[in-house]
Amino acid sequence: MLDVIELLAGSGDKRLRFSDIVGALDLTQATTHAILKTLCDRGWLIRDPADKTFALGPALAVVAARTEASRPLAHAARIAAQELSEQLGLAASVVERAGTELVITAFEGAGPGGPPTDRIRYAPPFGVAFAAWDSPAEQRAWIDRAPTASTALTERLVEVLAQTRDRGFDVDWTTPDLTRAAQVVGALPSDGLPDHVRDITDQLLAEFTTMGLAPADDAARTSQPVATIAAPVFDAQGGVALILSVHPLRAMTSRQVEAAGQRVRRAADQVSRP
């Protein structure tokens, strides 16, 4: 298992296929499949669904130092988060995706104690900046993971994804306390809880799902609480590799949100691979 991780770490920007790993390590296909499945399930590796290649996953950043050569986008994004935090006087973060989870791999600046958790579910209301630039099938899968299902909510989420993509960045319009509460609830395991507890957490997440969406037009003209402003960083294939965010955690006008959002978007664009 460690041989697989070391092989991928030494490949730099090059992503390896299943056959590459089998050949390089002289493993049987069955053994290689079992190892790769375990590593991907734990978030130590990620598998690109389009070209079927493997690369180091974001979970490694939580448990061990990573090399710049193996994760250049993540390293550049961490530097960008530091710069945004210093320039704007706000906490900033880098978030990566591991399957159906979002992993906070960097948190910079004077946030209120840092993020309450390293991992949250990749489901509404979390990860809009990922889903907005994803394929229609993946967007549908993200919407289907919402804690409650209704035609109205589905239409609202579809609208939010389109608005976010047109604007170029995502805005979480919630108070700091609600945001932290949503992250804590979102980090709870999807199984293993008593049914009555799971019902309560699902109800809470259903309410959180709509709280952070864009406010109505009349409310947007006034000062509103803003928890997070996030923009996508793209890899060389044009997919969203990670999210670069700032966390105002205060009320802002639409003009202030637009100015901060454009700063985050420019920083993300500079990190993105051409």
pLDDT: which is higher, 176 or 28: 28
Give the pLDDT score at 209.
Answer: 55
The tokens for 174 are 């919630």
How large is the average pLDDT for residues 48-54? 87
Give the pLDDT score at 194.
Answer: 64
Q: Tell me: the pLDDT tens digits for 71-116?
A: 789 889 999 999 999 999 999 999 999 888 898 888 898 654 555 5
Report whether pLDDT(219) > 50.
no
55 φψ region: left (φ > 0), alpha (ψ -120 to 50), beta (else)? beta
Query: CB neighbours of 257 closer than 8 A, spacing ≥ 6?
Result: 171, 226, 229
pTM metric for this prediction = 0.66
